[in-house]
Structure formats: structure tokens, C-alpha cells
Chains A and B, each alone.
Chain A
Amino acid sequence: MSLQDPVAAFRIEAGELLDQIEQGLLDLGHRLDDRDLVDEVFRGLHTLKGSGAMFGFDALAEFTHHCETAFDRVRKGLAPATQELVAVILSARDHMRALIEGNGSGLEATGAAILAELQAAIDGASDSPPAVEPAGAVPVVPVAAAGSGSGWRLSFRLPADAMANGTNPLMLLDELRELGECRIVARTDKVPPLADLVPTECHIGWDVELRGDISRADIDDVFIFVMDDMELSVTPLEVAADDVPGAAPVAGADGSAAVQGVAPPVLAAIDSAAPGKSPAATPSAAPKSGESVRVPAERLDELMDRVGELVIVQSRLSQLASGQASASGNELALRSISEEIERLAGELRDTMMVLRMVPVASLFSRFRRLVHDLARETGKTIALSTEGETTEVDKTMIERLADPMVHLIRNACDHGLETPQDRLAAGKPAAGQVHLSAHQAGGEVLITIRDDGRGIDRERVRAKAEVQGLIQPDQAISDHDLLQMIFHPGFSTAAQVTNLSGRGVGMDVVKRTIESLRGTIDVTSKPGEGSTVVLRIPLTLAIIDGLLVRVGEGRYVIPLGAVEECLELSLEEHLRSRGRSFITLRDRLVPFLRLREIFDTGTRPDPHQKIVVIATGAERVGLVVDQIIGSHQTVIKSMSPLHRDVATFAGATILGDGGVALILDVVQLVTLGQHQEERLRAAG
């Protein structure tokens, strides 16, 4: 965003205002008599209208004006806030967004329909006639038409507090002088004796003879701010017969004076259509507000500190390079600088990453409207509660999480929650609960979507899975695996197809999206008690801490967050476990995968092989590697389109020596390990 473009700034600001209005309205829906909320919404509408008009969004300003007027009545206690009004203004708010984005025609019809609803909502709520009036009906101060060809005689006295309130009489006299030749006489008759004199008050009056071809409007302009309270008399100067040849030139002078020049401030409403019409007409110029991130100043200060330190270290390095230090100390000095730079790079990376972090509150707040709308559409009573909104996640992550979460919440509200009647019949409170929570665990954020609805119908899932040929009719399958079936492409039970969910996004798409974020999705459900979906996503997409290992001649990175422990595969275990790839770890059998075999390295194994135990959730699997090299700051590069489908790898990274290491996809490997375990168990 350009710092010099108020229109771009307005678009961003308008987006924030609309969010604020929406949140205020939703809160108001729950607490209809909360005056603070009414004020908040009113202020939002008011600012939107005012700024919109400033930057040429005339349609927006006019439309918003109606909503503001309606809301003003509520604010002044002339009409009650009702659910109908909240609902209408919510849809009006969506229309305002469309007007700001300026996408396409046909908006007038929508706007008119909403205004009609608004009118109905107000009519229903109050007896007095609705206050919806056209925005253009700002009272226009009539331009004084009378003029004088030769001049005016003025006599004025300012209100006593005028000087204290910022009016400088000398400037008024200067302005009069600019209009024409002046003869000014001060009247000091009202000046009190010194003992009674209040120095901040103005006691002097002035008589002015103003000569020239001046309109009365110009004189009124001079006194515009004090006109209401001051004593002012304005009379035309005696017209000498030879001064003015006739009436016509006078009228001509008045006409031109009213048209020319800058309109006086109070007449600004007349010009409202004039300033900058272009923005509303060029929607393509609209920047995405998502491209800017708000950063608290203190975080920028931190970043600046680090950069400052980096500059210092850099100068030390230059000094060393130019050979000013003694030769013997060189190596030591270089090592110390290297350590400094390593530390600074780490800190810079952390600080930088934090800059991109935004609280999930911005994500959660979008869903309040969604749930509100879903409740209206389905006729259910739904209470949305949230927890852990301050948890911070990478900005790009937030954006990409929105769609899958919308789908999950729709599912919960539409399929999960029962109708109030069914709920009461089942002995539950009539209002269904949808709970969103977020919390950070290590390098991951866990986002939970929980409902207290009917839960997932196993029978139906099973029936559907059998029809699709995903499982055999008599096949035994764990409850957990059965629930995972809902993530299968094309999997939806017949009753699931409603107009609410008909968005062409299935659970398989949700799963794919989450996995593309290097996250996992897990669903649990208790019949009659509800379902819980847990999303685990990494804090950031760009950089991870990795464990660098060697398998054969290749080097690989294992995300450090997934590593539980490293141990040696003793020769004894190696022999004993041949063919049965399990180790016993604290009395638990953990399957392991020989990466040498999976990658088909064709090299001789190292005599002392290591096992890296990795885990996702409760599932663990060991990876046998030849050597553990150490931890490594891994900047993730995505794989080429050709290799994107290779499931075992999540990406690649470039090592310090210029070599390439592939990043192992932990989720895939754990799944692979678990399958192997199941196969072996099935085989006995």
C-alpha cells in the first residue's frame, strides 16, 4: 500500500470498520439493550459514511447514510434495537462491502431491496414516521444574493469569548481588507475600566466602510464561524448616482461571485459529487487488504535492534578482512564473529517470523457471522464459544485455514447439531454448542472445532464405505479408521446434501488443504454427544528446525518438532528384529522403517545405525538412519512439479555446503509405519 494514497488507506480502513460493525451487530443481537454497542455500531457507520464521501465512494456514503439514520434513532432512544434491525443492517453491511469493492452492476437493486427491508424494520419498531431520508438532503445554506456595486457599511462586535475560542479579530479585519478598500474605526465605548477588564475577552467593536464590487456572501464568509453569536449589521453604502450605471452589472457581479472560486466550507455539501469520482468506477485498482500486516511498533524496534547489532558485527568482519587485527588472533576473532552472526541470524529469523504472526482471533471472529447466519438458515439455536484467540499463527496460514474451517463449522452446525426439538427430546439443552479453541503446543498450533450434536453415525458411514468399496462388508475395522472414511474423496452420505453444504467442498478437500499446510486433521466422535475435529498445523510455513541425518550417501532433514528421541540400533536388536521391524521402547512396541531399504540406497549399512523416533499425535515410528549429523535450520523449498507427488518428502532444503537435502514427510512416514505394523500384526 502506498503511504501517499488515501483511497487505498480508506479501502483497508473500511474493511476494518465493516468487521467492527459486524462484530458490534452480532454482539448486539445477544444484548439488544446495550447502549455501548449501539454507539459503537453507529460510530462505525458514521465514519464509513464520512470517509466514504471524502474519497468519492458516493454510492456507499448515500447507502450508509440510510443505515446510520436508522441507527441514530436507536441511539437516541426513538426506536428499539430489534433482531430484525440487526439482521437487516447485517445484510446492509454486506452490501456496503460490495459497494466498496465496486464489483459489477445490479448493486442498486440490491441496495433498494435492503433499504426497503430497513424501512420495514424501523416501521415495525416505532410508531413515528421513519427517518430514512435521501443523503443529499443536507440543508443547504442559501447564498445571499443581494449585492452592492459600490460597497458596504459594516458594524460588528464579537461575542465575549470569541478570542479565547480561537477567533482573532485582526484576521477578520485582514480578510475584509482583502475583499476591498477598507476604512476601519474601532469602537471602544464598551471597554470596561482596567480593574474590571478580563484580558481574554473582546470588548471592542468595529465600524468598517468596505468599498468595491463585493457580494454580501463574501462578507458573510469572513464572519462565518462567529456569525450566529455576534452583532453584525451590513448595509449598502449610499449609492452615488454616477457610480452605478444600472442594476444589471450588479446582478452579473453577484452571479459570478457565487459560481467562481472555492465554495465556502458550509456549502461543501453542494460539491459533494465533485471530489474524485474515479475510485468507485475503477474496481480493478482495489488492492487486497490482506497484503498488508499490522505490526506492533515494539516488534519493529526489536527488529531494528537486531539489524543494528548485525551492522556492528559486519564492521568487525570488514576490519578483520582488511587485516588490521594481529595475525595470531585472526582465527579466534573470525570464530567469534561467526558465532555472533549465527546468533543474530537466528534472532532475526525469530523476530521476522513473529512479525508475520497474527492472533487467530481474526480468524475466529469471521465465524461468528457464519454461525449467526447458519442458525437463521437452519432454524437452530447455536451458541458459539471461543477460546485461545490470542494464539498467534503465521498470516498466510490464517488465510489458508479459513476455507477448511468454514466447511468444518458448517458441518458441525448443519449436520452435527440437532434441531431444538430433537435436542430437548434427547435430554440436551435446546441451544447447540459449537466451540472453537486454539492453543500452541511446541512448534504447532492445535485448533479444535467441537460440537455437542448427535455425533457421526457409524452405521451410515460404514454403509457408505461398503457401497464405495472402501471396505469389505465383513471387514473388521477400528472405530478410528472408520471415522477417517469421511475424509475419502467423494464420500458424503445422502442426508448430507443440503443447500448449506452444497459448496463443492468435501472433507477430502479439507484434509488435503490441511496437509498442504503440513498439518494433520483428526476427528473423534461420540454418538449422541458430539464430534471433535482437531487440526494440528505448524506455526509457520517457511522455516523449521530440522534434524539432519544421513542415509546411504544422501542427506535428509527430519522436522525436529516431530522427533521424540534418538537411540542406537544395537546389533543385537538389529538381528533379533530382522523381518519384524519392532523395537521395544519403554515397554511399548514401536515399529521402525529402514530408510536404507525404502530409499534403496544400495550401500553397505554403517556398523552403528541409529534410530530416530518420530511421532504425530499418539502414534510413533522409528526411522533407521546411518548417521545423525545434527540440528539444522531448514528453509523449506517446495519440490518441483515433477516431484510433488512423491509422498515421502515434504520439500527440500539447501545445505551450507550447497548440497540439497530432502525433507521427510513425518505424517506419511508414521502412516507407513503404522500400516506395516498392522500388516505384520494381521500376519501374526
Chain B
Amino acid sequence: MTAAILTVDDSPSLRMAIRIALTGAGYDVTEAGDGVEGLSAAAAKKFDLIITDLNMPNMDGLTMIRELRKAPEQAGVPIIFLTTESDDAMKQQAKAVGATGWLVKPFVPEQLIKVSRKVLGR
């Protein structure tokens, strides 16, 4: 079965780039514009992987990851966050609230696909 991926980012162009890369690699991609939309998307459907930005209006990525991990059905779902932070603090915080891994912006599609393959195993 095609793996379903949720991408959460407030930047439409970035979501588009992610969607194009991942659908091209055969994944099924759903988009959300911020943490609030991301949570409701994740509540409506079970995703195999969630890729999220950290800096977003309404609800940031950290809060969304924390909320997601509270739900038992989201245990074990890989969450990859995108970061441009050069400092390690953000990365540590995201990991502490339950993120699986990260991807440093800017990235090329191959890196995105590679990371997705890595955590999905397919």
C-alpha cells in the first residue's frame, strides 16, 4: 500500500516542493498549513509519516508534535521536522517532544526522499 505522508508547513511553495518530490517517489501526500490544521488532518486519517516545519503561525511545530504524541494512536508514527536553525537547541527541543528525525533546509528532493525511505522503510 502507498505510504501516506502528511506535510505541515506555512509556506505554500515549500509544501508544493515537498508534494512534488514525494508524489514523484510514489507517496500519497496530504498538506496542512499550520499546526492546528496538521492536528486535525492527523486526527482524521492515520498517516505513515508526518513532515513538519517548526516555525508556523497559530500553532508551531513543537506544540503540534507534543500534542500528537499525547494520542496513543500516534505512538510510533515517524515525525520528521524541517529546520533552518543553525543552533542545536531547537533540534534538541523537537526531539525531546517526540520527533523522530529532522531535515535541514535547504534540501534537495533526493534528501527528502532518502529521509522518508529511511524512516518508512519503503
Contact = CB atoms under 8 A, between A and B. Distances in A.
Given A6-B17, A50-B84, A164-B98, 14 more contacts: A6-B13, A9-B13, A10-B11, A50-B53, A55-B17, A138-B104, A165-B100, A166-B99, A224-B101, A225-B102, A265-B102, A266-B104, A268-B104, A268-B105
Contact of B114 (A225, A262, A269): A262
A626 B86 CA distance: 80
Nearest to B56: A43
B77 interface: yes
Interface of A: 3-4, 6-7, 9-10, 12-13, 40, 43, 46-47, 49-51, 53-55, 61, 137-139, 161, 163-168, 170-171, 174-175, 200, 224-225, 228-229, 262-263, 265-266, 268-269, 271-272, 274-275
A43 B57 contact: yes
Interface string B1-38: 00000000011111011001000000000000000000
Contact of A171 (B82, B95, B121): B121
Contacts of B56: 43
Q: Which 8 A-B pairs have the closest CB atoms?
A: A166-B100, A225-B101, A166-B78, A10-B13, A53-B106, A9-B13, A6-B17, A171-B121
Interface centre among B14, B77, B119 (most CB of A within 10 A): B14
A582 to B, nearest CB: 62
B13 A55 contact: yes
A54 B78 contact: no
A398 to B, nearest CB: 22
A275 B106 contact: yes
Given A9-B12, A50-B84, A228-B95, A164 B76 contact: yes
B63 interface: no
A194 to B, nearest CB: 20
A174 B12 CA distance: 35
B67 to A, nearest CB: 14
Interface in B71-108: 75-79, 82, 84, 86, 92, 95, 98-108
B83 to A, nearest CB: 9
Given A54-B107, A262-B111, A268-B106, A163 B76 contact: yes
A200 B20 CA distance: 34
Contact of B111 (A9, A46, A225, A268): A268
Contact of B86 (A7, A51, A138, A229): A138
A265 B13 contact: no
A466 B21 CA distance: 71
A175 B115 CA distance: 12
Given A6-B13, A139-B86, A167-B78, A50 B106 contact: yes
Nearest to B105: A50
The range of chain B's interface size is 35 or more
A274 B108 CA distance: 9
Contacts of B69: 164-165
Interface of B: 10-14, 16-17, 20, 53, 55-57, 69, 75-79, 82, 84, 86, 92, 95, 98-108, 110-111, 114-115, 118-119, 121
A684 B3 CA distance: 90
Contact of B98 (A47, A165, A266, A275): A165
Interface centre among B56, B103, B107 (most CB of A within 10 A): B107
Given A13-B11, A53-B84, A163-B76, A171 B119 contact: yes
Given A166-B119, A171-B121, A265-B104, A50 B111 contact: no
A224 B100 CA distance: 10
A61 B105 CA distance: 11
Interface centre among B16, B84, B92, B114 (most CB of A within 10 A): B84
A265 B51 CA distance: 14
10 contacts: A3-B16, A6-B20, A47-B10, A50-B84, A53-B84, A166-B78, A168-B78, A168-B121, A228-B95, A265-B114
A120 B37 CA distance: 41
A272 B17 CA distance: 16
A53 B111 contact: no
A145 B1 CA distance: 39
A356 to B, nearest CB: 22
Nearest to A4: B20
A137 B98 contact: no
B86 A54 contact: no
B13 to A, nearest CB: 4
A494 to B, nearest CB: 51
Contacts of A163: 75-76
Contacts of A6: 13-14, 16-17, 20
Contacts of B121: 168, 170-171, 174
Given A163-B76, A200-B75, A47 B11 contact: yes
Contacts of B57: 40, 43
Nearest to A263: B111
Given A164-B75, A166-B78, A51 B100 contact: no
A581 to B, nearest CB: 61
B4 to A, nearest CB: 15
B76 to A, nearest CB: 6
B21 to A, nearest CB: 10
B111 A47 contact: no
B120 to A, nearest CB: 8
Nearest to B112: A265
B14 A54 contact: yes
A456 B99 CA distance: 65
Given A166-B76, A200-B75, A53 B118 contact: no
A225 B11 CA distance: 25
Nearest to B108: A275
Contact of A262 (B77, B92, B110): B110
A139 B85 CA distance: 10
Contacts of B115: 265
A265 B111 contact: yes
